[in-house]
Chains A and B, each alone.
Chain A
Amino acid sequence: GQQVMQIPQYQHVQEGEDFTTYCNSSTTLSNIQWYKQRPGGHPVFLIQLVKSGEVKKQKRLTFQFGEAKKNSSLHITATQTTDVGTYFCAGQGAAGNKLTFGGGTRVLVKP
């Protein structure tokens, strides 16, 4: 079945620095979504990418969907303590209904 891998599993970042988390699918995706989960909280939808090569920005967050629609990345610039949490990518295959989540990247910010 479809598998979605995310690296790194943990990311320790100095406040003010940039970092990137990567997501790779074993199969071609129809779309990919990103979620953020604060410690003790529930996943919250951030964005969806649908088109090959698509790039979307949300303030300091930049999301990219690969040309082959099998990988994606999330880049955060000038990390702040509010960025603490786990970021999940989730891929949806051509069949439509099921969403497969990656293992997540847990981000810790050092002030």
Chain B
Amino acid sequence: NAGVTQTPKFQVLKTGQSMTLQCAQDMNHEYMSWYRQDPGMGLRLIHYSVGAGITDQGEVPNGYNVSRSTTEDFPLRLLSAAPSQTSVYFCASRRLGYNEQFFGPGTRLTVL
């Protein structure tokens, strides 16, 4: 099993550009989520999904969109990148009913 995979590992955007961060898991986990990590602020939940076709907002959803068309994939879209979105983004998954989360390796995003 590859676990949770994320692409790209690094990305530099200009203000106003859009892009999609990819996340996939091969563990058949129902629950998937996106976090952003900023220095000294821990991980903050952006969006999450409890299954295909179901998504919900987390703590900091503004400026981000998600969709969940399959169990395996949970892409995060930045509609119009802003410097405040410079961060490290982690995707995570777990099986519903179990609380251990498995994190991907992260995407380091810089918005100029």
Which residues from chain A sit less than 8 Å from chain B, CB to CB?
1, 4, 6, 9, 31, 33, 41-45, 48, 88, 90, 92, 97-104
| Residue of A whose beta carbon sits closest to that of B105 | A42
Is B74 an interface residue when CB atoms closer than 8 A count as contact? no
Instruction: Report the separation of the CA atoms of residues A98 and B59 in the bound assembly, to the nearest whole angstrom.
Output: 9
| Residue of A whose beta carbon sits closest to that of B44 | A101
The residue among B42, B58, B99 with the most chain A CB atoms within 10 A of its own CB is B42
| Total contacts A-B at CB 8 Å | 53
Main secondary structure of the interface of A (DSSP, over half): strand
7 A-B Cβ contacts within 8 A? Answer: A41-B105, A42-B105, A97-B48, A99-B45, A99-B99, A101-B35, A101-B43
Q: Is the CB of A48 within 8 A of B99?
A: yes
Q: Which residues 26-52 in B have Cβ within 8 Å of A in the complex?
A: 31, 33, 35, 40-45, 48, 50
Q: Is the CB of B102 within 8 A of A45?
A: yes
Residues of chain A lying within 8 A (CB to CB) of residue B103: 42-44
In the complex, the 10 A-B pairs of residues with the closest C-beta atoms, listed nearest first? A101-B42, A42-B103, A101-B43, A103-B42, A45-B100, A43-B103, A104-B42, A48-B99, A42-B105, A42-B106
